[in-house]
Amino acid sequence: MKTQVLFLVFVAILITVFIRLNPAQRSTTSDYDIYQYVEECKAELGIQRDLPVVSCLDGKKIPIYVDKQEINSHNWSTLSQGKQCDNPHWLGGDIGCWTYSHLQVIPLDEDNVMVVNCRQKGNQNDKTWYRDTQSNLGKDQNQRKQAILQAKTAAEKQQLYYLYNTFNDLGIIFRNIRTGKACYLTQYGKQFTGFIPPLDKPLPAKSDYLKNYNPDHARPPEGFPEELWYRDANQAFRSPQLTAQAGCINCHNAHGFKYSPYINSSHGLPSIYSMKDLPMLLVGKPFIDHFRKEGFLQLDTTPVNGEKQICTRCHKITTAGTCGYLFDFATGHPNMKLHKWLTRNKKENWMPPVDMGVQSVYKHTKRMSCCCKNPYAKGCLTRQFGPTESDLAEGFLEGRGWVESEGPGDCDN
């Protein structure tokens, strides 16, 4: 009996020592979790290296302009008093004028890129919160950091740290720019610090965790909620199932990334021209199932007055992601005629100058808009562009696989 007791005590000691010497942790779930998803993503995209451990603060802050003046700490009131910004992050209204978004595009190898976009946009149900806050959100990263260092009380340091290094909307995209395979991670509606936990390794011990990040970035002050900065990937991101259901690929399916005059290749994203001919090949059953349930299709039109459709010369047009209000916003502007909007000027234009007369441009966009609303109408072309290689027509990359629609409906007029 004594031998059994001693043996059990010895085993207990060994387990305790093992836990203390191996503090790395990872929350587990019986479902398909972030670690399983990222492992599958790396394998499918051909990423053979360890993924970088990144901080939102490593990114480049996306400037916001009002009347062509960049918003800063001196003119913050211009935006907070209700003026619409010139370059919303999200198109279509006032919801994209947040001042402290950070974007980074990280090449992983010759074929793969990692895009990290962190937004500080407030309550998910009140996206114009920044207009009511008393804080000066025009301050840049260094100004916010200096405010923390100069704060005199612990409570003040904590409040200022929220402004410096917490975000509540995070998107990470992995894309193979040769094959079109893609993965999506997200978190939104919850507050978190910009210290993003490792995605393909267990969470380090708390004492070692912050050593992974840029030492120039201020650390959370004493008393700052631990759950906001020390959490593993499963805690930091929504599950693959919820991310798929949230509709990330509804917006991103056309080019893998979302392009606008304000976030594009000048910010490091791959050229839209190189992305338009790629399929959208998704990793993970939840994303594949969602794509198929939504029935996304790639669209084109038959020639307009004998000319190839102008919209698809540069863009992949799909039934979600490019059709809808974004198409209307891109091809029509409330303050000017379409042709002037398209060719506004080299610095501010939505698209490069179009070597085509005004009436011809209208005919092309009218046909494309019609096909967006009714892909099966006459004058429209459709084809599968994902979500797996087996769904693609033979010769997809050579431009084959299009099906000419026969109705009901007629866009060919």
Which tens digits make up the pLDDT trace of 390-411?
Answer: 999 999 999 999 999 998 999 9
**Can you give the pLDDT at residue 92?**
52
Check pLDDT > 90 for residue 39.
Answer: yes
Q: Could you count the other beta carbons within 10 Å of the beta carbon of residue 173? A: 21
Check pLDDT > 50 for residue 106.
Answer: yes
- Rounded to a whole number of angstroms, the CA Rg of the chain reads 25
- Window from 27-31, 99-103, 133-137 with minimum mean pLDDT: 27-31
Distances (CA, A) of 151 to 159, 161, 219, 283: 10, 10, 14, 46
State the average pLDDT over residues 288-304: 96
Check pLDDT > 70 for residue 194.
Answer: yes
Q: Residue 220: which pLDDT band, with cuts at 50, 70 and 90? A: very high
Check pLDDT > 70 for residue 299.
Answer: yes
**Can you give the pLDDT at residue 18?**
38
Check pLDDT > 90 for residue 161.
Answer: yes
- Window from 69-73, 105-109, 251-255, 277-281 with minimum mean pLDDT: 251-255
Per-domain residue ranges of the chain: 26-267, 295-404
**Can you give the pLDDT at residue 129?**
58
Question: 165-169, 337-341, 356-360 — which one is most confidently predicted on average?
Answer: 165-169
**Can you give the pLDDT at residue 206?**
95
pTM over 0.75: yes
Find the helix packing angle between 141-150 and 154-165, rounded to 10°: 170
Q: What percent of the chain has a predicted confidence (pLDDT) above 70?
A: 79
Q: Residue 351: which pLDDT band, with cuts at 50, 70 and 90? A: low
Return the amino acid letter for 237.
Answer: F
**Can you give the pLDDT at residue 122?**
62
**Can you give the pLDDT at residue 46?**
98
Distances (CA, A) of 395 to 201, 224, 268, 373, 385: 39, 56, 30, 27, 12
Q: Which residue has the higher pLDDT, 120 or 308?
A: 308
**Can you give the pLDDT at residue 5?**
41
d(CA 216, CA 234): 27
**Can you give the pLDDT at residue 133?**
67
